[in-house]
Structure 1
């Protein structure tokens, strides 16, 4: 049988735990309200950005390439000149890479290695894209030896 003193202690312990659980519940509710407020502010800040950038994936690129006829003398080491530059602007990378790939496909003897292809791409970069790629090139990053890796980093 349980003595009355033990029952009093048990009731006090249960009451104390109930109070602690109540305080913890209030804290959790406060945290949830704060979290909801942060999510709401995040959504409000994100909406204008989504509107601004929603058309980028469907916008037509204005990057163009001018191909010269391939009538170089035998033994010439010239590559078809291109008039495009990639400056890092969103939405132009895919077209840039496709057009450079065409040049490389048309003149494979000028691009015997992945490294030569990457070097060619770098010569056609400017501004932000050039600043990024020069840092990568100077560090001799692994992507400077893999055309697939390099293109993946650009996209």
Structure 2
């Protein structure tokens, strides 16, 4: 083999190595950007229930705004959200327990009472949603106090052993829903 050809091969190999190293650094940069975007999307998906607007907003009363959660340096575990609660017999306590698990596993996502209440309200359907809508529309103080909200929900949807034969009675202040 001609020494000039060998030198050309060495030079080409050296150039290819430099290009490969440069592309590797660029891929590392792209990977870091993708990780950042993935984290942002994850945070947005956790807060998605907070973005919903009530069906009948009251124009005269300002809506309580959930406080923005503090940024986290480590990622919170992903927890399965509870199934939609429709006010079923004896299921309120179970539903609130599952919500509490989500709140405890993702404390920075649910740092405020308002964020917890918004999450619960966005996870309701049927008679439970009717009950929550009446509270929201009246801008009751329950909308900003999680402990009071959960206690009122337990009263409105008691375990089946406490309901008797009358079926569910949902109360919100002076409001009774079917």
Q: TM-score, normalised by structure 1?
A: 0.50
Structure 1, unaligned runs of 5 or more = 1-71
Shift, 1:143, TM fit: 0.8
Could you tell me how far apart the structure 1 residues matched to 2:141 and 2:128 are?
18
Shift, 1:73, TM fit: 3.5
The structure-2 alpha-carbon separation of the partners of 1:141 and 1:123, relative to structure 1 and needing over 3 Å to count, comes to same
Map 1:8-27 to 2 at 5 A: none
Larger Rg: 1
Q: Secondary structure at the match of 2:83?
A: coil
Name the counterpart of 1:102. 101
Map 1:112-151 to 2 at 5 A: 112-151=111-150
Could you tell me how far apart the structure 1 residues matched to 2:102 and 2:108 are?
11
Q: 2:39 aligned with 1:74, yes or no?
A: yes
Q: Deviations over 1:24-83 (max 9, x none)?
A: xxxxxxxxxxxxxxxxxxxxxxxxxxxxxxxxxxxxxxxxxxxxxxxx943331224525
Q: Higher helix fraction: Structure 1 or Structure 2?
A: 1
Q: TM-score, normalised by structure 2?
A: 0.44
Aligned pairs, how many?
84
Structure 2, unaligned runs of 5 or more = 1-36, 47-78, 155-178
